[in-house]
């Protein structure tokens, strides 16, 4: 069995869909299935089992001989949530319980980390220095929780025989419809343009960046799925890896790509960044991808224009 946690969510459901597309069977979905707004994400996927998140560690104990691989993608990902206790339980302790069982039963593991661990980026975005996580200062409890687990994993003597922590950068793509405020800028841009003919971007509150000139490494979710499956099939070179496109682009670039894919004339307005996130807002992220390339991953990533066009035309426009 191949197990995916966070299965009803954005990345988890897309990974399950791609695994099925490639002919993998015996797929197990783990999540809190009490959220009906996410239920359609699993439509059309043939699942061997659905396992409630709350009993998953015990389920591993009972089924370890049948489990071939675990993708632990489930997490609390809201960067505007500041209750640290929520992240301590869902992102740290629950991940530790899964790791410990993977080590005990020799189950290979890929888990989701985040570029939010890098904070404001002043220390760079290197995934080759195992000492860096101890120096990083994430800007919110979500990033802190991911960094705490990264540090904990690196310190363990008992490890899965293969493991990889993936620092996801700014992911966009199908099946994020339930994420509300935390959905990608592409998703919000499409809906704003559809409703009003224009879209709003955050104004820059730093003199070294123009309005809309803030830079992010936007990565298409289908590229993430390709990398996850590559790691599952290879199962060597354990460690923490960046997972972005490798190329920072501006929010203006993203907006223009969205207008173009929709066949609409550009109409962009700038608004103030909300006060509750303004001092914790990243102005630049870019993933050095040499480490992943160095272990043999050679498939090109979608450019921003390619990814946005695929998402808009094949998914958003057909909803």
- Please check whether residue 251 lies inside any domain of the structure: no
The pLDDT value given to residue 35? 83
- Please check whether residue 199 lies inside any domain of the structure: no
- Among 308, 133, 317, 302, residue whose Cα is nearest residue 225: 302
Per-residue confidence of the chain (319 residues) as pLDDT tens digits?
999 999 999 999 999 999 999 999 999 999 999 888 888 999 999 999 999 999 999 999 999 999 999 999 988 766 556 677 777 778 899 999 999 999 999 999 999 999 999 999 999 999 999 999 999 999 888 899 999 999 999 999 999 999 999 999 999 999 999 888 889 999 999 999 999 999 999 999 999 999 999 999 999 999 999 999 999 999 999 999 999 999 999 999 999 999 999 999 999 999 999 888 888 788 999 999 999 999 999 999 999 999 999 999 999 998 7
Respond yes or no: is residue 142 known to be catalytic: yes
Q: How far apart are CA 202 and CA 254, in angstroms?
A: 13
pLDDT digits (tens, 9 = 90+) for 42-75: 999 999 999 999 999 999 999 999 999 999 998 8
Q: Which of 125, 142, 172, 241 is catalytic?
A: 142
CATH code of the domain in which 228 resides: 3.40.50.720
Respond yes or no: is residue 84 known to be catalytic: no
- Among 113, 110, 154, residue whose Cα is nearest residue 131: 154
- Please check whether residue 36 lies inside any domain of the structure: yes
The pLDDT value given to residue 140? 87
- Please check whether residue 174 lies inside any domain of the structure: no
- Give the 3-state DSSP-derived string for 48-79, with helices as H, strands as E and coil as C: EEEEEHHHHHHHHHHHHHHCCEEEECCCCCCC
The pLDDT value given to residue 278? 84
pTM of the model: 0.94
Total domains present in the chain: 1
The pLDDT value given to residue 261? 98
Give residue 87's domain range. Answer: 2-169+220-244+286-302
Q: In this structure, are residues 218 and 169 in contact, taking their beta carbons and an 8 Å threshold?
A: yes
Strand partners for 209: none
The pLDDT value given to residue 86? 75
- Please check whether residue 161 lies inside any domain of the structure: yes
Q: Which of 84, 151, 159, 179 is catalytic?
A: 179
Q: What is the rounded radius of gyration, in angstroms, for the C-alpha atoms of the chain?
A: 19
- Please check whether residue 188 lies inside any domain of the structure: no
pLDDT digits (tens, 9 = 90+) for 91-139: 899 999 999 999 999 999 999 999 999 999 999 999 999 999 999 999 8
Map tokens 């800007």 to a residue. Answer: 139
Q: Alpha carbon 72 to chain centroid distance?
A: 11
Token readout for 49 is 């089992």
- Please check whether residue 69 lies inside any domain of the structure: yes
- Please check whether residue 83 lies inside any domain of the structure: yes
Q: How far apart are CA 255 and CA 266, in angstroms?
A: 8
DSSP symbol at 130: T
């Amino acid at each position: 069995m191949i197990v995916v946690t966070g299965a009803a969510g954005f990345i988890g459901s897309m990974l399950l869909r791609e695994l099925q597309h490639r002919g993998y069977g015996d797929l197990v979905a783990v999540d809190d299935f009490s959220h009906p707004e996410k239920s359609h994400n699993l439509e059309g996927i043939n699942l061997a089992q659905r396992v409630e998140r709350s009993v998953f560690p015990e389920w591993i104990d009972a089924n370890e001989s049948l489990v071939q691989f675990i993708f632990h993608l489930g997490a609390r990902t809201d960067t505007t949530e500041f209750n640290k206790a929520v992240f301590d339980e869902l992102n740290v302790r629950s991940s530790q319980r899964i790791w410990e069982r993977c080590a005990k039963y020799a189950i290979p593991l890929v888990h989701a980390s985040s570029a939010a661990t890098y904070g404001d980026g002043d220390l760079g975005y290197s995934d080759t220095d195992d000492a860096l996580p101890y120096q990083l200062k994430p800007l919110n409890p979500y990033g802190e929780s991911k960094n705490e687990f990264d540090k904990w994993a690196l310190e363990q003597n008992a490890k899965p025989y293969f493991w990889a922590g993936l620092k996801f950068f700014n992911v966009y793509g199908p099946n994020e419809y339930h994420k509300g405020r935390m959905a990608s800028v592409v998703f919000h841009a499409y809906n704003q343009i559809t409703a009003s003919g224009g879209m709003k971007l955050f104004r820059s509150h730093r003199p070294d960046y123009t309005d809309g000139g803030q830079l992010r490494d936007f990565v298409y979710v289908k590229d993430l799925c390709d990398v996850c499956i590559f790691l599952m099939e290879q199962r060597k070179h354990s460690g923490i890896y960046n997972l972005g496109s490798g190329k920072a682009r501006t929010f203006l670039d993203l907006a223009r790509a969205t207008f173009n894919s929709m066949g609409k004339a550009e109409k962009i307005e700038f608004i103030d960044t909300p006060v509750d996130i303004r001092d914790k807002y990243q102005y630049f992220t870019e993933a050095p991808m040499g480490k992943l390339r160095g272990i043999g991953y050679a498939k090109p990533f979608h450019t921003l224009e390619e990814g946005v066009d695929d998402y808009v035309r094949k998914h958003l426009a057909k909803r």
